Amino acid sequence: MLLGMALIFTTIFVAPVTLKAYDAAHPLVVSCRITQATAGDGSSRSTRGIGASFNQVRLDSSNCGVVSMRKVKMRRRSPRNFGKDVITS
């Protein structure tokens, strides 16, 4: 029982901090040669059928494939989260 509680505590509190510290110490740099950029609209849909539309840019590259870049508004009104750029592939 105690071992299970320790495992849950570690999973919830220790693992995220450890992973954030690892990511901060080991940045990943990716260089892509963009061959074409196309502006467009994207949309999302939730399980309740509600969705949102957003502007996006489709970037085609020979060595990285297709990458979509879009700007979304986060729910929290924090200055560091508002209007963050999201890159998906």
**Bridge partners, residue 88, by sequence:** 68
CB 42 within 8 A of CB 56: yes
Query: CB burial class (10 A; 0-12, 13-18, 19+) of residue 56?
Result: buried
pLDDT at site 10: 84
pLDDT at site 88: 54
pLDDT at site 72: 62
pTM for the full predicted model = 0.47
Q: Which two tokens stand for residue 77?
A: 């009104």
pLDDT, tens digit, 9 for 90 and up, residues 40-72: 877 777 777 777 777 888 889 888 888 888 776
